[in-house]
Amino acid sequence: MMDVEILSRLQFAGTIMFHYLFPPLSIGLGLQLFLCELSYYRTRNPAWEAAARFWTRVFAVNFAMGVATGIVMEFEFGTNWAAYSRFVGDVFGSALAAEGIFAFFLESGFLAVLVFGWDRVGPKMHLFSTLMVFLGSMFSAVWIVVANSWQQTPAGYHIVWQDVQGEMTPRAEVTSFWGMVLNPSSVDRLTHTLIGALVLGAFFVASVCSYYLLKNRHHEVARRCLSIALPSALLFTVLAAVTGHDSAQKLVETQPAKLAAMEAHFHTSDEPTGLTLFGWPDTENETIHFSIKLPYLLSLMVYNDPTVPVPGMDQIPEDERPPVWLPFQTFHLMVGLGTMMIGIAGLACWSWYRKTYEQKRWLLWAVVFMPLAAMTANQAGWITAEVGRQPWIVYPSVQDGVEMMGLKTADGLSESVTAQQVLSSIILFGIIYSLLFAVWVFVLNNKIQHGPESGEELTEYKRKLKADSMSEKFGQSGKSHGGDMLEEGVR
């Protein structure tokens, strides 16, 4: 039987990675959807409305998955990590509660108007609702990333010892709310995470539209959406690189162990530090096999100075070192994919500008597959950040010159929960999530294959809907259905 710690970590990693497939897409798609609707609102062109209605349908499927899998995370803090919850509740809980009250109500409320309100509210109200849903999902990310960042770089708190039935037990208490919210890594991590989501959304729209062009379908809608999606993909991939660089630079002060793990930098020396491009880290022998190393570059990137050596893993006490292989590989994967995405987005924009994009089938196909790259990069970044902070669940930190204790992951567990219980929940959720994933892919594919209505179909649908509601007003027995779109339930 495996032990509770490993199982609980597996369970948390699994459920959060599955959850994390959806919110970034919701955030990214939210922006694209808003831009489509804004264009509709300004031009009143039915093709823009058809596009917005189509992306709404895709958005709704994805959003429902995000909501459904998100509640699991909130419950798991209490069910599996009770000791952690008692330790951080004073700090972490308020961010979570703020998310509920400031973000969830906003997004779920206006989601109703976004999804079900097309024929009930005017374009202005609908546009406003779309904006609110987009902002709501951004606020949600804000509070979650703040809560997570506090664990990585805690601030604005002190440790209080409480007498729990005869045993003195520590817990973190907030001393400054804003100090906690704006902890040293909040802003950097937040911008990088949000931009990662916007990259995914832009590439997702670009991908589906490029697919339509390849298959000779829905040209009108596809071209319009591409004119928004491609430039935003380029903008956000570049911004992702900039913000990623900023985040990494901070690590040398806040979490040197994570930085050393990401670079598999085992030995500190007086020489400037090089950057490893590829390799296979071997923790036991403290070396990297098959590596290609560029001299001076890591020092330059971290300190903006090629000569200052970067501290390595040997500066970290042995029992506080994170695993190296996984953060190294996921970090390099993320950077590699990011570079590739900048390249593809740049090429696509250039040829779009030259009006040759639609002839370059290889480029269209490349863009079709970019959402996978973006999603993988998001996941890889998350793994780097979370595995790189082990064995700490809450990092130790220095507040006003006083050293504060941290909390190790192993000490955060629920003591009353057995390995058997965790294992059965992993199996249960493994089955449910596999089923869900299959259904999600299937339904999403269905939506994409069906595609948007054309401008004319939409105009016809609206005419029928109007006729129906008129006949009802005058007490005649109007048809109960308003045309093909109703029958189909094509939402």
Partner 1 sequence: MNYELLTFIWFVLLGVLLTGYAILDGFDLGVGILHPFIAKDDRERRLVMNSIGPLWDGNEVWLVTFGGALFAAFPVAYATVFSSFYTAFFLLLTCLIGRAVSLEFRSKVHTPAWRKFWDIGFFLSSFTAAFLLGVAGGNVMAGMELGPKYLYEGNLLSQVYWYPLLVGCLTASLFALHGAIYLYLKTEHELQARARRFITKLFYLFAGLYVVVSFATFLHVPHATENIANYPILWIVPVLNALAVLNIPRAMHLGKPGYAFFTSSMVIAAFATLFSVAIFPNFMLSTLDPAYSVTLENARSSRGTLQTMLIIAVIGMPCVLSYTVIIYWIFRGKTKLDSNSY
CB of 399 to partner 1, least distance (A): 15
Nearer to partner 1, 160 or 470 (CB): 160
CB of 455 to partner 1, least distance (A): 15
Q: 167-174 and 275-282: which strand pairing?
A: unpaired
| Shortest Å distance, C-beta 437 to partner 1 | 11
Nearer to partner 1, 121 or 239 (CB): 121
DSSP labels, 131-191: HHHHHHHHHHHHHHHHHHHHHHS--SEEEEEEEETTEEEEEEEES-HHHHHT-TTHHHHHH
Q: Give the position of tokens 């694209």.
A: 32
d(CA 54, CA 221): 10
CB closer to partner 1, 270 vs 488: 488
Cis upstream peptide for 391 (omega within 30°): yes
**Which CB atom, from 159 or from 316, has the smaller least distance to partner 1?**
159
Query: Could you tell me the smallest distance in angstroms from the CB atom of residue 443 to partner 1?
Result: 5
Residue type for 402, please?
V
Nearest to 126 by CA among 144, 107, 111: 111
Given the complex with partner 1, which of 238 and 443 has the nearer CB atom?
443
Which CA distances in Å does 237 have to 13, 233, 380?
A: 26, 6, 15
d(CA 18, CA 375) in angstroms, rounded, equals 11
For partner 1, give the closer residue by CB, 25 or 373.
25
Q: Is 99 helix (H, G, I), strand (E, B) or coil?
A: helix
What minimum distance in Å lies between the beta carbon of 17 and partner 1? 16
CB nearer to partner 1: give 113 or 230. Answer: 113
Nearer to partner 1, 340 or 465 (CB): 465
Q: How far is the CB of 164 from partner 1 (least distance, A)?
A: 6
| Closest by CA position to 21, among listed 63, 74, 80 | 63
Decide: helix, strand or coil at residue 401.
Answer: coil
341-to-5, 120, 152, 262 alpha-carbon distances in Å: 37, 40, 28, 21
Q: Which is nearer to partner 1, 3 or 74 (CB)?
A: 74
Least distance (Å) between residue 403 CB and partner 1: 21
- Angle in degrees, 0-180, between the axes of helices 219-254 and 46-80, rounded to the nearest 10: 30
- Nearest approach, Cβ of 425 to partner 1 (angstroms)? 5
Amino acid letter, residue 216:
N
Contact in structure between 323 and 390 (CB atoms under 8 Å):
yes
Output 179 or 323, the one with its CB closest to partner 1: 179
Q: Closer to partner 1 at the Cβ: 175 or 454?
A: 175
Which residues in 145-161 are b (16+ Cβ under 10 Å) and which e? bbbbbbbbbbbbbeeee
We find the least distance from the C-beta atom of residue 368 to partner 1, in angstroms, to be 23
At 302, phi and psi to the nearest 5? -80, -45
The separation between the first and the last C-alpha atoms of the chain, rounded to the nearest angstrom, is 47
Residues in a beta bridge with 404: 397
Q: In angstroms, how far is CA 255 from the centroid of its own chain?
A: 22
Beta bridge partners of 109: none
Q: How far is the CB of 220 from partner 1 (least distance, A)?
A: 19
Tell me the closest approach of the beta carbon of residue 231 to partner 1, in angstroms: 30
Q: Give the HSE-up count for residue 489: Cα atoms under 13 Å, Cβ half-sphere.
A: 0
Q: How many residues does the chain have?
A: 491
In the bound state with partner 1, the residue whose beta carbon lies nearer, of 119 and 305, is: 119
Q: Name the minimum Å distance from CB 11 to partner 1.
A: 10
